[in-house]
C-alpha cells in the first residue's frame, strides 16, 4: 500500500479543483490546517469567515472518510512531528505569495527535508504562477494592461477544473486535534458581536461559493460591464472575492464557468480576475508592497497623521455620504463595493492626507476578503505610489462621485438612514442643503449627521501641494 501523506490546507479550503488533493488520489492522507499567528495572520472579519469555512471543509472531509485535523502552532515544528507519527514521506500544499508565508515555506521545506520528508507545493490559488509571467525582456510586469494581455494568451489552453473525490483514504496514527471553537476565531464576550449581520449576507464554504458563482452567472454576468459601478445594484458585482481569498472556489473554476456562460460582461469580469493575478504578481516580485511604497520617492511623502480624522473615516462619520455609506457597509457586513472602496480610499489619503498604510490596515482587519496582495496593491494604486498607479493629481471628489455612481441615492439611503428623507438633489451634499430642507428631512448637521471633517477645496489644495513636493524631490 502507498505511503500516507499530509495534505496541508491553507488558502485552498475546497475539495474540487484542488491539485494538492488530486495528487494524493488513492493514498492514505491526513488533512490538516494550522492556525499560525503573526504579522500576516487574518484580521477580525477574515477570522470570522475562516471559522465557518473550516467548519464546512471539516464536514465535507468527514463525509468522505478523512476528518480534518485542526492545530495551532508553527508548521516548521509540527509538520515533521506529524509526518513521523503517521509515517508520511510527503506533505502536499498550495503555494502562497505573501512574503512571510514564503519565508516560512522555505524554512518548513528545510525542516521537513532534515526529517526525510518532501514538501510539494501546487498552484491552487491562482490562474498562473506569478514568477513565470515575464515581459519580452524577461522582467516582471509593472503595468496591468500588458500583464493582462500576456496572461490572456497564456490562459488560452487553461486545463479544465478537477472534480472533487467521492471517497478519501484516511491515514492512521495522528494525534488528537483541536476543536474549531478552541481556535477562537469568532468575536467573544466582552467584545461586541460586530459580526452579527454577516450571516445574512454570506455563506462561507465550498457550497456557498458554488451557489454565489451560479447566482452571479445567471443574474449578474450579462450586465456586469454596466452594473459593476452601481453600488446599489443587486448582483452588480460577483461577491466572489472572499470565496476566492480562502480558496473555496478556484479562479480556474470561475474562469471556465464564466467563459462557458459568456455574454456582454464576460471580458470585463475576466479582467477583474486578472487584476487579482496582477496583485499577486506584484507581491511576489515586490514583497515590500504591504508596508512600503513601490515608488521610492513616496517614502518622503508629507503625510499628516491625525487619529481623530482616521477615526471619523473608519466609523463613517466624515460628513460625505458616499464615503460614510461605504465605511458603514464595511463595518456591518465585512465588505464594501469596489467603486466605493476607491472613493473612500482616495478621500482618506488625498483629502485627509492620512497614510495609506493606515487605511490598508483597517481594510485588512474589517474585510472578509482581506487579501494582502490585492489590498496593498489597490491602496498603493489609489495613493499614487504603486505600480501602474493612479496619477497623483487624480483626486476623487466624493460629492461628484456619489452623484455619478449613486444618482438616486439608494446606496446612501441604505447605509446612512438618517439621510433617507433628503431629496435626491441634496443626498450627496447635505452640508450645502438649505436649513429648511434639512429640517424637513430630520437632519441636524453635527448632531445626527456630521458636518464635513474637511472642506473639499481645502483638502484638494493640500493634497496637490504635498504631491508637488514629492514630485519636486523626485526631480531633484
pLDDT given for residue 418 in this prediction: 98
Half-sphere exposure of 13 (CA within 13 A, CB side): 29
Mean pLDDT along residues 224-235: 92
Comparing 274 with 476, the larger pLDDT belongs to 274
Beta-carbon contacts of residue 389 (< 8 Å; ≥ 6 apart): 294, 295, 380, 381, 382, 383
* Fold for the domain defined by 296-470: DNA Cyclobutane Dipyrimidine Photolyase, subunit A; domain 3 (1.10.579)
Contact assessment for residue 271 and residue 341, using Cβ atoms and an 8 Å cutoff: no
State which of 71-75, 173-177, 356-360 shows the largest mean pLDDT.
356-360
Quick one: pLDDT at residue 317? 98
Q: What is the mean pLDDT of residues 107-120?
A: 97
How much is the pLDDT for 211? 98
* Residue listed under C-alpha cell 469555512: 53
- Per residue in 408-432, pLDDT (tens digit) is 999 999 999 999 999 999 999 999 9
Task: Give the C-alpha separation, 115 to 92, whole Å.
Answer: 15
The CATH code that applies to domain 126-159+205-285 is 1.25.40.80
Do 391 and 381 contact (CB within 8 A), yes or no? no
Confidence of residue 266 (pLDDT cuts 50, 70, 90): very high
Residue range 142-156: average pLDDT?
Answer: 92
Report domain extents, the chain.
5-124, 126-159+205-285, 296-470
Q: What is the mean pLDDT of the chain?
A: 94
Report pLDDT digits (tens) over 42-68: 899 999 999 999 999 999 999 999 999
Query: 3-state class of 420 per DSSP?
Result: coil
Q: Looking at residues 60-84, what average pLDDT do you find?
A: 95
Higher pLDDT, 234 or 437: 437
Check whether 217 has a pLDDT greater than 70: yes
Whether residue 242 contacts residue 369, with contact meaning beta carbons closer than 8 Å, is answered with yes
pLDDT in the model for residue 389: 63
pLDDT over threshold 80, residue 40: no
Active site residues: 272, 275, 303, 338, 356, 379
Q: What percent of the chain has pLDDT over 90?
A: 88
pLDDT of residue 128: 92
Cis amide prior to 45 (ω within 30 degrees)? no
Q: Note the CATH architecture for domain 5-124.
A: 3-Layer(aba) Sandwich (3.40)
pLDDT tops 50 at residue 165: yes
Q: Which of 89, 94, 95 is nearest to 115 (CA)?
A: 89
pLDDT at 289 > cutoff 70: yes
Determine the pLDDT at residue 157.
87
Q: What is the mean pLDDT of residues 72-85?
A: 93
pLDDT exceeds cutoff 90 at 234: no
DSSP 141: -
Is residue 177 within 8 Å of 69, Cβ to Cβ? yes
List the grid coordinates of 375. Answer: 489590498
Summarize pLDDT for 388-402 with one digit per residue, the tens: 766 667 899 999 999
Tell me the angle at which helices 75-86 and 99-114 cross, rounded to the nearest 10 degrees: 40
For residue 297, the 8-state DSSP code is G
Integer distance in angstroms from the first to the last C-alpha of the chain?
69
| pLDDT for residue 392 | 67
What pLDDT score does 425 carry? 97
At 149, which helix (H) or strand (E)?
helix 144-154
pLDDT computed for residue 2 by the predictor: 84
Say if residues 406 and 428 touch (Cβ distance below 8 Å): yes
The DSSP line for 152-168 is: HHHGGGPPPPPPPPS--
Question: Mean pLDDT over residues 121-125, rounded?
Answer: 97
Residue 75: closest CA among 13, 25, 6, 172: 6
What pLDDT score was predicted for residue 37? Answer: 74
Separation between Cα atoms, residue 195 and residue 367, nearest integer Å: 11
Of the candidates 293, 290, 254, which has an alpha carbon nearest to the alpha carbon of residue 272? Answer: 254
Say whether pLDDT at 209 is over 50.
yes
Q: Cell numbers for 414, please give them.
A: 441604505
- Residue 105: CB atoms within 10 A of its CB come to 19
475 — pLDDT class (breaks 50, 70, 90): very low
Amino acid at each position: 500500500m502507498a505511503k500516507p501523506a499530509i495534505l496541508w490546507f491553507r488558502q485552498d479550503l475546497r475539495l474540487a479543483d484542488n491539485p494538492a488533493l488530486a495528487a494524493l488520489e488513492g493514498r492514505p492522507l491526513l488533512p490538516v490546517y494550522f492556525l499560525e499567528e503573526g504579522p500576516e495572520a487574518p484580521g477580525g472579519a477574515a477570522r470570522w469567515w475562516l471559522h465557518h469555512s473550516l467548519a464546512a471543509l471539516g464536514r465535507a472531509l468527514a463525509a468522505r472518510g478523512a476528518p480534518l485535523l485542526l492545530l495551532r502552532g508553527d508548521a516548521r515544528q509540527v509538520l515533521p512531528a506529524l509526518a513521523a507519527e503517521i509515517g508520511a514521506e510527503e506533505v502536499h500544499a498550495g503555494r502562497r505569495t505573501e512574503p512571510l508565508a514564503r519565508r516560512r515555506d522555505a524554512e518548513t521545506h528545510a525542516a521537513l527535508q532534515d526529517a526525510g520528508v518532501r514538501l510539494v507545493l501546487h498552484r491552487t490559488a491562482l490562474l498562473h504562477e506569478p514568477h513565470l509571467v515575464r515581459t519580452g525582456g524577461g522582467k516582471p510586469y509593472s503595468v496591468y494592461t500588458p500583464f493582462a494581455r500576456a496572461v490572456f494568451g497564456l490562459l488560452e489552453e487553461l486545463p479544465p477544473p478537477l472534480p472533487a473525490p467521492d471517497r478519501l483514504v484516511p491515514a492512521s496514527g495522528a494525534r488528537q486535534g483541536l476543536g474549531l471553537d478552541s481556535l477562537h476565531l469568532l468575536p467573544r464576550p466582552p467584545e461586541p458581536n460586530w459580526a452579527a449581520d454577516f450571516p445574512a449576507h454570506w455563506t462561507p464554504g465550498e457550497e456557498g461559493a458554488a451557489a454565489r458563482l451560479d447566482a452571479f452567472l445567471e443574474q449578474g454576468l450579462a450586465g456586469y460591464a454596466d452594473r459593476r459601478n452601481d453600488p446599489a445594484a443587486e448582483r452588480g458585482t460577483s461577491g466572489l472575492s472572499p470565496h476566492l481569498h480562502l480558496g473555496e472556489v478556484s479562479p480556474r473554476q470561475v474562469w471556465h464557468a464564466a467563459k462557458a456562460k459568456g455574454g456582454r460582461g464576460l471580458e470585463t469580469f475576466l479582467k477583474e480576475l486578472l487584476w487579482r493575478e496582477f496583485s499577486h504578481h506584484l507581491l511576489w516580485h515586490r514583497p515590500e508592497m504591504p508596508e512600503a511604497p513601490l515608488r521610492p520617492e513616496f517614502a518622503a511623502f508629507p503625510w499628516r497623521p491625525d487619529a481623530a480624522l482616521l477615526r471619523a473615516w473608519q466609523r463613517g462619520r466624515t460628513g460625505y455620504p458616499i464615503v460614510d455609506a461605504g465605511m458603514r457597509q464595511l463595518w456591518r457586513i465585512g465588505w464594501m463595493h469596489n467603486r466605493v472602496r476607491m472613493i473612500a480610499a482616495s478621500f482618506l489619503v488625498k483629502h485627509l492626507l492620512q497614510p495609506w498604510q493606515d487605511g490598508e490596515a483597517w481594510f485588512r482587519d474589517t474585510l472578509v476578503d482581506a487579501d494582502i496582495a490585492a489590498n496593498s496593491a489597490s491602496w498603493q494604486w489609489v495613493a499614487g505610489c504603486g505600480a501602474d498607479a493612479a496619477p497623483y493629481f487624480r483626486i476623487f471628489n466624493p460629492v461628484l462621485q456619489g452623484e455619478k455612481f449613486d444618482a438616486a441615492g439608494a446606496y446612501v439611503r441604505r447605509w446612512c438612514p438618517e439621510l433617507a428623507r433628503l431629496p435626491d438633489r441634496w443626498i450627496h451634499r447635505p452640508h450645502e442643503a438649505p436649513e429648511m430642507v434639512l429640517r424637513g428631512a430630520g437632519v441636524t448637521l453635527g448632531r445626527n449627521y456630521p458636518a464635513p471633517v474637511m472642506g473639499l477645496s481645502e483638502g484638494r489644495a493640500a493634497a496637490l501641494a504635498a504631491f508637488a513636493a514629492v514630485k519636486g524631490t523626485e526631480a531633484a
